[in-house]
Amino acid sequence: MEATGRSKVSDHYARSNLIDAIRDGVDRIGKTTATVTIDDLAPVDEFHIGGRKATEGLVAQLGPSATGHLLDVGSGLGGAARFVADRYKCRVTGIDLTPDYVEAGKVLCKWVGLDDRVSLHHASALSIPFPDEAFDAAYMLHVGMNIDDKAKLCSEVVRVLRTGSLFGVYDVMRMADGELAYPVPWATTAEANAVARPQVYRSALQSAGFDILSERDRTDFALAHFQLQSKMAASDKSSPLGLHTLMGERRREQVRNMIESISAGRIAPIEMIARKG
């Protein structure tokens, strides 16, 4: 996410009355704001491909500890940050460009009793408002698709990490030529799309001072996830909380276009793990 204030990116993700919509979903699953859990909220607050499973798979590779302080770059509603704080008993600070998400995320942190360990801020990933070497690890989940300047993004992340710290990336990346159909979950039009090839990420990471430790194509994982979601929808087992809560009627077309491009091999969700040298 590339600047504070209103922008094409934040306007794309903006949703008024978001907490009211989530509270309604909580009521419909038979919970209250006092009894809802991070697992109940996961379908709506971890809206990257693969949801909670993708978060688990990426963050486990960073080896968080209870004494650690992690940075969530592009934290959205804070779902991943809450999961990490709960699972690893660490502190997590998140930054995001969309004010609606940040404010709603703060409320959700209070609902599940994690506002003492999760701190969410409205800020740009290109100008991270924290001092040098403030964090023990960082991660971002489906963020770079909205940021043209990957080099600046990586230089900001490396700046706020301590030497030897790990940075986990899970983004949709361009794998082959071909037109993308719009809208997709991260962009309404081609002008808002900043999907790049893996080599662009590698170059940006290495130029910033990272050593790339691993890279993993998650296409099979993504297609299996979409198949499961389709079966749940067909059997009417989908949760009252989900992407529709955030995106409304836009959801079906966005997801359909994304799945078509992944299936055709034009784009793919890719994981990268890098270490600050």
Least confident interval from 82-96, 180-194, 230-244: 230-244
Structure letter (DSSP) for residue 27 = H
Give residue-wise pLDDT tens across range 5-20: 445 665 666 666 899 9
Q: What angle do CA 245, 217, 244 make, to 5 degrees?
A: 5
**Cβ–Cβ under 8 Å, residues 44 and 241:** yes
Q: Which residue has the higher pLDDT, 14 or 2?
A: 14
Domains of the chain, by residue range, sit at 8-276
Q: What is the mean pLDDT of the chain?
A: 92
220-242: b or e for each residue (b if 16 or more CB lie within 10 Å)? ebbeebbeebeeeeeeeebbbbb
Average pLDDT (59-74) is: 98
Structure letter (DSSP) for residue 187 = B
The fold adopted by the segment(s) 8-276 is Rossmann fold (3.40.50)
Checking if the pLDDT of 214 tops 90, the result is yes
Average pLDDT (107-128) is: 98
Give residue-wise pLDDT tens across range 129-187: 999 999 999 999 999 999 999 999 999 999 999 999 999 999 999 999 999 999 999 99
pLDDT of residue 236: 52
Q: Which residue has the higher pLDDT, 237 or 68?
A: 68
Checking if the pLDDT of 1 tops 50, the result is no
Average pLDDT (20-42) is: 95
